[in-house]
Amino acid sequence: MRPLQPISNTARALLGVAFFVLFLAGWALATLGGYVSATFLASPVTMVQDGWYLLTKHNFSFDIGVTIWRVVGGFTLAAIVAVPLGILMGAYKPIEAFLEPFVSFARYLPASAFIPLLILWAGIGELQKLLVIFIGSVFQIILMVAVSVASTRRDLVEAALTLGARDRGILGRVLIPSSAPDIAEILRLVLGWAWTYVIVAELIGSSSGIGHMIIDSQALLATGQMIFGIIIIGIIGLISDYLFKAANRKLFPWSQI
């Protein structure tokens, strides 16, 4: 093992699985061995039993679907607004000078702090939850996309100018294609943050969703159900992450060279 030395895909997969096996073994040892009280941490067996109970008796699959819809909806709205603004900020310095101070200010505002205001403005329905995800994601995407576009190699722009390209051509044929793989990677990363925002939104004023189930389970001290909900979030996130990576490789093959 040497610094930055690549490994095969098989070795990468085996090492990733090995960590989960060790983690599960440590969890089982701590709980089934009696080292940790079941009141504070359910065992893997109890977690699976509680998860099956939720799926078969309480229609938990509906809650999962609702949460996925909220994440996709709020994140899509944020991406539709943020990506074009980020591209314009990165490409044109006057637009950057106009928007960057506000965006830098707004991205430090925690989305959870807006929940009381959003409940006042939009009620406790779906719009409020979509807006929490939107606020938590949009400013991060704008700034990260702007930085990516602004980091485009200057020699590519100069070559395009030499060949007679105009502003619109430089934007559409140089800046956007060069930054597209990085923008897709930015969206992949921020999608993970969106899951944090939706769970926070569902903890307050919600009658459905994974976060709603977790807060109800807390009142019952059902740690197995809480852990099952958290693990479901991780599994969905892992699947979406791999799908994003596969789509990026398919859409932007030049980024793999």
The 10s digit of each residue's pLDDT in 40-49 is 888 899 899 9
| Residue 31: per-residue pLDDT | 87
Residue 247 pLDDT level (bands cut at 50, 70, 90) = confident
pLDDT band at 81 (very low <50, low <70, confident <90, very high): very high
| Residue 163 pLDDT | 61
| Model pLDDT, residue 254 | 65
pTM of the model: 0.84
Query: What is the per-residue pLDDT across 106-130, written as a single tens digit (0 to 9) for each?
Result: 888 888 888 888 888 887 778 888 8
Does residue 153 carry a pLDDT above 80?
Answer: no
Whether 48 contacts 64, CB under 8 Å: no
Longest dimension (CA), the chain: 74
Q: Where are the domains positioned within the chain?
A: 63-209
Domain 63-209: homologous superfamily in CATH? MetI-like (1.10.3720.10)
- Sequence-separated (6 or more) residues with CB below 8 Å from residue 80: none
pLDDT digits (tens, 9 = 90+) for 129-149: 889 899 999 999 999 999 988
Residue with more model confidence, 154 or 24: 24
